[in-house]
Chains A and B, each alone.
Chain A
């Protein structure tokens, strides 16, 4: 109040106020300037955000790298395996693993193995293999060895590692027909790892269709699908899997059996995913944007596929990843019991089928080695799935 009286009266206004124009371009973010880092964060799409969150989960990243390497190896199994899937060395039946040495007589020699001397134990009539430490046999690298058909198409004989000239290289021993275990494990990875992927694709498709129908339409469709999932979920899977795979005719070719088994695995696996799809759709179809699309005349297929599904796709993929290991395991179990894949198609389960007789395994422990990749892959999938689920969850 006092101010007004003390300040001098304002100068008389000019006739027209000068119109002030700033020639600088308008900066809309003048109020809240973002650092480059913040801007990157705010501009990132949902998949990018998820990737950043996933990256923070160390074990998950390590597992992903491991799995990527494993899958990469299935592409070039032929190069990695020193022998063919079916190469037999009849002189070396149940040969124990050969150690790879670097030093011979205290001197560096490069990677080499010692040859085996075979004798027969006259009491047990077993072959006894003793390493012969006088002659080191150097391994060959990037070499030509067993010939193969790369993916059944291109002939070749290039390997990363070959057995030494005139010798053998059984890194993980041989089986009852003298076939190299390491090569067989490498080849078997191709089948064991893909069966999970193909199976999950089928199960994913089933879950999307059936869960989608149930969730979007509700009513009796929902009722039927719900009962079906309940029955499948509550029934023990293994006996059913056994019954179904026993029903595959023996006369089918191994490749058809392979697809049959995948289908059987998928048939019992979809309810978990289907239930997730259904419950999400049930809640999302009430959203305004779904009604808007409906009123504009979009067909159900478009609404589900274009508007609703992308909202929870990341979640679905994460839960699908978590059910891949159970599929790999189921195939291993079936083949292990002799009702799954059958030779010449070779998976880790088929290899383990040779380890069913404990008396044989007790003497030739390396027959159990396929257990190692199975467990490693399952662990890796579980870590990666956990990481993906955490990353896909916006509230984490």
Chain B
């Protein structure tokens, strides 16, 4: 094994340790929360109807569907609003962590390959 190859192998292991320690637990918690919240809201909102109504309300204009969704959100109960906000937050955090993992992996790989 040449030193560069070994360096890459070590860094892959280090990345694995970092991912399992700092990102994987967060991702698991966020996904569990997401599933629980989605389960809560699924009992109260009939997703198929929401999608159907959104398409009908849009009339080919995506901005209208956005206005429809906003109006629906404003008119819904406080409990549903809270759950929807929590779902959105969960989704943003999950995407942030996935993005961070990918960026770190790319940075390590680039450093291994190009020696930057």
A is bound by B: no
B residues within 8 Å of A by Cβ?
none
